[in-house]
Structures are given as C-alpha cells and as structure tokens.
Amino acid sequence: MSIDAIISALSIAGTLVGTFAGIVFSNKLTIYRIEQLEKKVEKHNHIVERTFLLEGRMNEAEHDIQEMKGGEKK
C-alpha cells in the first residue's frame, strides 16, 4: 500500500469520526433543549389550570357577596 492510500484512508476515517461525533453531540443538545422546553410548558400549563380554578372561585365569591348584600347588582 502506498503512503498516499494510507493518508487517504486516515483522512476518510477522521472525517467520518468527526461527522458522527458532531451528529451525536447535536442530537444530545437537541434532546436536552426539548426536555427543558417541556418542563417550561408543564409549569405554564399548571399556572393556567390554577388561574382557571381561581377565576371560578372568584366568581363564586362574588356571587355569594351579592347574595349577602340582598341581590344588589353592580
């Protein structure tokens, strides 16, 4: 085998290793970022649910107050 063939084979091997390492690293980073976004969405959805429940409780409280005042409306 000539020196040129050995150099070519090593170049191809180095290129392939570098390419696959880049793909694996990029994939891990993407998965990490998606997991972080999922956590943020979960927190947001929890806040939306709590807000919905609190709005319902506020409506009930306002209704109860109106009943205590004798049915007066604003």
| Percent of the chain whose predicted confidence (pLDDT) is above 70 | 95
CA max distance for the chain: 102
Express each pLDDT in 25-46 by its tens digit: 999 999 999 999 999 999 999 9
| pLDDT of 70 | 85
Q: 11 — alpha (psi -120 to 50), left (phi > 0) or beta?
A: alpha
